Amino acid sequence: MAASAATGVKMVAARPCISASQGMLTSRAMISRIETAARFASCPKIFCFRPLSSKRTGFVVRAISGESAPQGLPIDLRGKRAFIAGVADDNGYGWAIAKALAAAGAEILVGTWVPALNIFETSLRRGKFDESRKLPDGSLMDIVKVYPLDAVYDSPEDVPEDVKSNKRYAGSSNWTVKEVAESVKNDFGSIDILVHSLANGPEVTKPLLETSRRGYLAAISASSYSYVSLLQHFLPIMNPGGASISLTYIAAERAIPGYGGGMSSAKAALESDTRVLAFEAGRKGKIRVNTISAGPLGSRAAKAIGFIEKMIEYSYVNAPLQKELLADEVGNTAAFLVSPLASAITGSTVYVDNGLNTMGLAVDSPTITS
């Protein structure tokens, strides 16, 4: 990837390695000649020297950084375009992921739930999110375009009449998954990164035993099949070597009382689908597919569960890392997963929860503390 290579470590075509006896006298001159020929003053240089031994047994490789070389291993997404589905405010994981990708140089497109579109765009326009848009270099994240999106519906034919006539959808068009993918193709041609950051369970506060079939299937449709649909429709316009990620939760693997309405089943389906989609998208389009199992965050959407504050407190008390989980930490992990640095990672569930997933015992349990 050209953009990534521009800031990465360069393997410079150096002259043949000189002998140890000559090296003491000519190494400075040789380095000067190589640097002049290479013309990579802003990138680390790799040079070879023979070891101080009479036997010609191999090479010693040393990385010599120029004064203006960037420090560390950079995540470079310059020249990449990302579509993040499920951004409707500035305090969720979707927003944090968008910021991290923007900070790495990616162009940002977002899909916003139709009923929330007007408020979101108005807030952006009036500068309400300006403080949240600040990137590490002091600039503001630029959202190139906001698309209306309802990922519950694949195509216009799937939209029921009561939704079409709903005043919350008035004034918006082309918001089904198929139409949004076509709009992005018409506007930009292609994308490199697809992010699924949306979920909904209308009966999330109900125990599973009290969940209706309709509520259960609605949770599956909005929270897991929506990812299948998005990847199905966006894959044809994704550049080979691209990546896609979604967000899951530990309830996919562990019983979380109170996280009901079929949402735990939806997250389990999402993780299973991640593995299957990784194979299919990898073979069909050379696209990597991963999911991030994030710890609890007090976002506006999460408050629908009803006890998110208690979940956050439980995590803080019982996780191996006893600290607040920041949305930016999930965003940074997402940036890594969609970057060339993670080029061999696909089909994985990556935990970003301060290690809570590793615990089999609540250390604040009265049984333990007594």
The span from the CA of 95 to the CA of 92, in Å, is: 6
Instruction: Give the C-alpha distances (Å, rounded to integers) separating 363 from 258, 315, 317.
Output: 20, 11, 8
Predicted confidence at residue 21, as pLDDT, reads 38
Q: Is the pLDDT of residue 45 over 70?
A: no
As a whole number, mean pLDDT of residues 273-289 equals 98
Give the domain range for residue 316: 81-358
Q: What is the DSSP letter of 251?
A: G
pLDDT at 301: 64
Distance in angstroms (rounded) separating the CA atoms of residues 345 and 330: 17
Q: What's residue 368's pLDDT?
A: 79
CATH of the domain at 235: 3.40.50.720
Higher pLDDT, 10 or 124: 124
Does residue 289 form part of some domain?
Answer: yes
Residue 90's pLDDT is 94
- For residue 306, pLDDT over 60 is answered with yes
- pLDDT band at residue 73 under the 50/70/90 scheme: confident
In a domain, 287, yes or no: yes
- Position 64 scores a pLDDT of 40
pLDDT at 303: 61
Residue 324 inside a domain? The answer is: yes
In a domain, 336, yes or no: yes
* pLDDT for position 63: 41
Percentage of the chain with pLDDT > 70?
78
pLDDT tens per residue, range 165-214: 999 999 999 999 999 999 999 999 999 999 999 999 999 999 999 999 99
86 part of a folded domain: yes
Among this protein's residues, is 259 annotated catalytic? yes
- Confidence bin at 304 (pLDDT 50/70/90): low
pLDDT higher than 80, residue 370:
no
Q: In this predicted model, which residue has the larger pLDDT, 70 or 115?
A: 115
139-175 residue pLDDT tens = 999 999 999 999 999 999 999 999 999 999 999 999 9
As a whole number, the mean pLDDT across the chain is 84
Is the per-residue pLDDT at 120 higher than 50?
yes
Predicted local confidence at residue 44, as pLDDT? 40
Question: Quick check: 342 pLDDT over 70?
Answer: yes
Angle, in degrees to the nearest 10, between helices 177-188 and 226-234: 30
Q: Which residue has the higher pLDDT, 121 or 57?
A: 121
Which residue is catalytic, options 153, 259, 314, 316?
259
Q: What percent of the chain has pLDDT over 90?
A: 72
Question: What's the pLDDT at 53?
Answer: 41
| CA dist., res. 111 & res. 320, Å (int) | 35
The answer to whether the beta carbons of residues 307 and 364 sit under 8 Å apart is no
Sheet holding 238-248, edge to edge: 143-149, 107-113, 81-85, 191-196, 238-248, 288-294, 349-352
What is the Cα gyration radius of the chain?
25
pLDDT of residue 305: 66
Kindly state whether residue 320 falls inside one of the protein's structural domains: yes
**Average confidence (pLDDT) over 265-292:** 98
Residues 6+ apart with CB under 8 A from 241: 1, 192, 286, 287, 340, 343
Q: What is the pLDDT of residues 80-118, one digit of tens each?
A: 999 999 999 999 999 999 999 999 999 999 999 999 999
50 within a domain of the structure (yes/no) = no
Higher pLDDT, 297 or 33: 297
The answer to whether 91 and 85 are in contact (CB under 8 A) is: no
Q: Within a domain: residue 293?
A: yes
Number of structural domains, the chain?
Answer: 1
pLDDT per residue as tens digits for the range 309-333: 888 999 999 999 999 999 999 999 9
